[in-house]
Amino acid sequence: MEKLFQRWYDLISIDSVSGHEVGAADYVAKVLRSMGLEPHYSYFPEDTDRQRPSVWTVLDSGKPGKTMLLIGHIDTVDVNLKNWKTNPFMPTEIDGKVYGRGSMDMKGGDAAILSTVEYFAQHKDEFSGKILVCFVADEEGLSKGTYQLVDEDVVHADYAIMAECRYNNVAVGFRGRFSFEITVKGKAGHASRYPEVGENALISAGRLAAAIEALPTLPHPKLHHGTWCVRYLAGGNSGALVVPDSCYMFVDRYVVPGEDEAMCIRQMQEAAEKLGLA
């Protein structure tokens, strides 16, 4: 248990805000090597500076059997220092709780994965098959690290445990996620002549955003239902008297079994058509 806590503290102490995960990746690779395992680095194409690797390895029992995937992400969300009373990269225990960026999401889970793998590396007689271990980058963004491992044909497993924080309960399954980028077009014109001249893309995007969030989703007995979230809107120019002719929209769609990418795109297209935007 002491080693698990030390790894947890070590990981918290590493600044791995999404965008520069390399320090945390190097740390988990070093720990895996200490167990006699060979870590592999994976980079997605946009990471030209090689600062955002995912790390994976395989522990083989030497006996036939199924494959268990243990997976965690090594990136964290950014730090708003105004909201911190402690150093976010120095684990600090107060009243039985540990404070530090990523302490819950999810460096505690990463430390637990490392200790679990270490145990089975030392006790191969206690399992059969293989354990696939993945520490991925960009989970807090667009999950590019995970998608890259899939593209590289790394991820094949019969079972999976995601060591994400769940407080005091265990979730049986998670919803999937699609992210969509939409550009709503308008027509430029001088602001003084609007609305007779010009079509405001911001207003159209707002109408579409409300329509998207009202779209139906499928229910699921354990995962409840899918959801829509318009997460970002951007457009216009505050420094020019011009009717905005374009608005960018970013949409997250969490899905349950029975919902897929094609279905989601079709729903959004139909919503746009009803508003006269397609």
Residue 139 annotated to the active site:
yes
Which of 234, 117, 145, 237 shows the shortest CA–CA distance to 182?
234
From CA 251, how far away is CA 242, in angstroms rounded? Answer: 26
CA 36 distance to own-chain centroid: 29
Q: Count the neighbouring beta carbons within 10 Å of the beta carbon of residue 171.
A: 10
> How is residue 107 annotated by DSSP?
I
* Cβ proximity of 32 and 55 under 8 Å: yes
**From 10, 21, 47, 75, the catalytic residue:** 75
CB within 8 Å of 160: residues ≥ 6 apart: 68, 69, 70, 71
**From 10, 110, 118, 139, the catalytic residue:** 139
Q: Which residues are catalytic?
A: 75, 139
